[in-house]
Structure 1
Amino acid sequence: MSAEGNYHFMPGSFSKGFGYEETDEENGSRESIVHLHHPEDSDNVASSSAGICGGQPKPKVLIMGLRRSGKSSIQKVVFHKMSPNETLFLENTNKIVKDDISNSSFVSFSIWDFPGQIDFFDPSFETENIFGGCGALVFVIDAQDDYVDGLSDDLKIDIQRDIQQRANDELLDDGFKNIHLSYYLTSIYDHSIFEAFSKVVQKLIPQLGTLENLLNIFISNSGVDKAFLFDVVSKIYIATDGSPVDMQSYELCCDMIDVVIDISCIYGIKDDGEGATFDSNSSAIIKLNNKTVLYLQEVNKFLALVCLISENNFEKQGLIQYNFYCFRDAIQQVFEDRCAKLFSETLQEISC
């Protein structure tokens, strides 16, 4: 597949045929996400390859915040491919909503959406049951009370700095020194929310360091400018190379996935009339008018490698293709080794 020109698609144009079950949610639009992560929990977090290995417990991602702060809107846009404008019609969440997203995604974990009015100090609240096995806690803060045209960039930074300072002071006052918070300025109306959740999900992947090293080796030997390893369903990138992430580059890669999926759903129907021919052999090339090439190759059913390459370096397409096959084999080996290790640990637990 090859095309000329620039493309822009709204987040959420991903085919809903690849989506998940629907649940009742609440609305919101402009958000600031605070992500809470315990470094010492990394060894206890289940592998994202649990969906491949099978039978392994999945980590929880808890989404909390005040009422109408946008928690459910975020979940719908990122994991259910809902258009941001449609979130205005979501109902309020009045109970804890559990969403297992491993059915259609390589990344395997469960999301728990908490209603804003819940009282965590209520004696009937099952603290250990809910927070046990928590891989990450995402606290959503609405950056503004009134929905106006928008905040200036300077004001957004000031609000984030104020929230960050107050949160850190509260933790220190309560004697918590080993808790590290990550702060993200996000909106469901652009790709910033996808990038923020990419950072959250990456902390749940034990093989992240290995994946990043493989990407670094791939781009250094292929003349690639930037490479992302995407979870195709959610458009979350589970790993990237060591160079800084440019938001525009990330948006281009997300848009390319949208284009490939949409065209596959329209023109890629199998001979039996069921399912789209979007599989591990799918690939696409889009040449932009700024002499940049977008290159997509499916790693497996759920993962895709998306690269940005200068037009001059893309003349070595055969070398890039060969290096990709080596990269894909290495990725497969990483998760086969992980599955073997998990299986061995399970047998040892049973024998004990």
Structure 2
Amino acid sequence: MAALRCKCRWIEHGPERHLFSDTVILQGVAPAIKTSCELRLEELLQVASPTSGQPVQAKSNKPHDFKPRLLLMGLRRSGKSSIASVVFHKMPPNETLFLESTTRIQKDSVHSFMDFQVWDFPGQFEYLESSFDLEEIFGSLGALVWVIDAQDDYMESVTRLNRTILTVQQYYPNINIEVFIHKVDGLSDEFRADTFQDIVQVISDELSDAGYENAPVHYYLTSIYDYSVFEAFSKVIQKLIPNLSTLENLINTLSNNCGFEKSYLFDVLSKIYIASDTRPVDMSCYEMCSDYIDVIVDISELYSWDHPDRQAKGEQNQEAESHVVLHDETMIHLMEMNKYLCLVSVIRNPEAKEKKGLIDMNCRTFQQALNDVFSRSWEQDQEQAEGRQIEGPTTTNHLTL
């Protein structure tokens, strides 16, 4: 039998370069279409054996920035810049109506409990073209946040998202894929649920057809006019925090011993909570705690000033502490952990006022444990990134029952 010779030919089509096999076409199989960027990566990365089953890892000689990176992507006017301005720059939502369209990548460094970067991409940015370095964009540990305008035709956005996911998952599988179904404040509850289900179904079906079963994609309903966007970013940031389970266990221990109904460890700057106890999140409770932070910050700016003639009488606490009792005898307790973090707890026990001193003591013990965890974990990650190991004493903290 004569050997069958397979002919292959390249066809240039716009920014993409397609490889077609005559044998594949004759067998009735759809031709493999890859962008020139993907083909260039395959040539440069020295891909290992495809039968190994391991995801392809992009390699680069460039030194990676230790800071985690959040990539805000989506179509034009989907709300990416508005989200970044409201969450990380405290812009009132109504003022985002006057923001101009992003024409270039906006890179913001957020200095908080964890230094990270926020990259806002223009909607027309074709980052999968060969002229852009994917390693520079996706090579750092972080999350890809794709914003979809729920009030507009979202099929084009879904198509571009799936194309991006297929590329990112092939070469950079460690990046978290987060989808914000945005601008849902103008939709009815029923239409909002239908839109959410439709988008999830379309994305899942297309990824499944491409061979990605149960792709690690997470979805959130968001709006800048309520706290849903802060809740969504809280979930995104928590995935980038080392030792998150340790923080949750510490908060659980504190909440169980003090009788807290719910506790949040907030980043004061952005009002994102980086950890909480494992009880279900109640949005009304979360909004109440978030508003209380604004109250304390505003009062502190008015009254927390050092008078030249004022002298401290005895030892003073450096961190702020406050509590308020609502009309239904619910207590909101706030204690500053450091200049970036504060612990806000909701207590519905009427007897909590009588045990205020014990609660404060337990919160101080939690503060010591928290600072030990954060200082060691971040320093150790930094040292390991530089090729060194650090050693430190082990500290044991006990909460008082």
Do both proteins adopt the same fold according to a TM-score greater than 0.5, normalized to the shorter chain? Answer: yes
Q: Which residue is 2:307 aligned to? A: 271
Q: CA deviation at 1:242?
A: 0.8
Between 146-155 and 171-180, the greater mean CA deviation after superposition: 146-155
Residue 68 of structure 1 is matched in structure 2 by 77
Q: Closer, same or farther in 2 for the Cα pair 1:187/1:294, shift >3 Å?
A: same
1:20 corresponds to? none
Residues of 2 paired with 1:81 and 1:269: CA distance?
A: 23
User: For 1:135-150, what aligned pairs fall within 5 Å after superposition?
Assistant: 135-145=142-152, 150=186
Aligned to 1:251, what secondary structure does the other structure show?
helix
1:308 aligns with 2:346: yes
Q: Which residue of 2 aligns with 1:83?
A: 92
Q: Which residue is 2:102 aligned to? A: 93
Matching residue's letter, 2:380: K
**Partner residue, 2:285:** 249
**Aligned-residue offset at 1:295:** 0.5
Distance 1:106 1:318 in 2: 27
**1:96 to 1:174, Cα distance in 2 relative to 1, 3 A:** same
Map residues 17-56 of structure 1 onto 2, 5 A cutoff.
Answer: none
Q: Compared with structure 1, are the counterparts of its residues 218 and 77 closer, same or farther at alpha carbon in structure 2 (3 Å cutoff)?
A: same
Amino acid at match of 1:184: Y
Distance 2:139 2:382 in 1: 22
The aligned residue for residue 325 of structure 1 is: 364
User: How far did 1:107 drift?
Assistant: 2.8
2:218 equivalent in structure 1:
182
d(CA) in 2 for partners of 1:342 and 1:206?
A: 9
Q: Deviations over 1:261-305 (max 9, x none)?
A: 011111222337xxxxxx951011111112111100000110000
Secondary structure in structure 1 of the residue aligned to 2:186: coil
Rounded Cα–Cα distance in structure 2 between residues aligned with 1:317 and 1:148: 41
Q: CA RMSD in A?
A: 2.4
The reply on whether 1:132 has 2:171 as its aligned counterpart is no
The answer for the alignment partner of 2:333 in structure 1 is 295
Aligned residues: 290
Q: What is the rounded CA distance, in whole Å, between the counterparts of 1:320 and 1:56 in structure 2? A: 40
CA shift in 2, pair 1:56/1:69, >3 Å: closer
Q: Alignment partner of 2:222: what SS?
A: strand
Identity of aligned residues (%): 52
Provide closer, same or farther for how the CA distance between residues 349 and 326 of structure 1 changes in structure 2, counting only shifts above 3 A: closer
Instruction: Say whether the 8 Å CA contact 2:334–2:342 is kept in structure 1.
Output: yes
Kindly indicate whether the alpha-carbon contact (under 8 Å) linking 1:287 and 1:293 is maintained by their aligned counterparts in 2.
yes
TM-score, normalised by the number of residues in structure 1 = 0.78
Q: Which residue of 1 aligns with 2:373?
A: 334
Tell me how far apart the structure 2 counterparts of residues 265 and 302 of structure 1 sit (CA, whole Å). 16
The residue aligned with 1:22 is none
Q: Is the 8 A contact 2:184 2:223 kept in 1?
A: no
Shift of the 70–328 alpha-carbon distance from structure 1 to 2, 3 Å rule, reads same
Deviation of 1:310 after TM superposition, in Å, equals: 1.5
1:25-82 Cα offsets, whole Å, 9 max, x none, are xxxxxxxxxxxxxxx99xxxxxxxxxxxxx9710111000110000000000000000
Per-residue CA deviations over 1:299-341 (Å, capped at 9, x if unaligned) read 0110000000024241211221111111011101112321453
Asked if 2 retains the 8 angstrom alpha-carbon contact of 1:282 and 1:298, the reply is: yes
1:13 maps to none
Asked whether the 8 Å contact 2:66–2:382 carries over to 1, the reply is: no
Say which SS state the counterpart of residue 331 (structure 2) adopts. Answer: strand
Between the aligned partners of 1:153 and 1:306, the Cα distance in structure 2 is 30
AA of the residue aligned to 2:209 = D
User: 1:149 & 1:204 partners in 2: Cα distance?
Assistant: 28
Aligned pair in 2 of structure 1 residues 148, 75: CA closer, same or farther (>3 Å)?
closer
Distance of aligned partners of 1:119 and 1:301 in 2 relative to their CA distance in 1, 3 Å threshold:
same
* Structure-2 separation of matches of 1:292 and 1:309: 6
- AA aligned to 1:200 is V
CA contact (8 A) 1:135 1:204 kept: yes
1:222 to 253, 258, 265: 258
Q: Which amino acid aligns with 1:271?
A: H
Indicate if the aligned counterparts of 1:223 and 1:313 stay in contact, CA closer than 8 A: no
Match of 1:345 among 384, 388, 395: 384
8 Å contact kept, 2:184–2:222: no
Query: How far off is 1:178 after superposition?
Result: 6.1
CA change 1:344–1:61 in 2 (3 A) is: closer
TM-score, normalised to structure 2, is 0.68
Q: Is the 8 A contact 2:204 2:214 kept in 1?
A: no
Q: How far apart are the structure 2 equivalents of 1:291 and 1:148? A: 34
Runs of 4+ in 1 over 3 A off after TM superposition: 146-149, 346-350
Matching residue's letter, 2:196:
Q
Would you say the 8 A contact 2:185–2:223 is kept in 1?
no
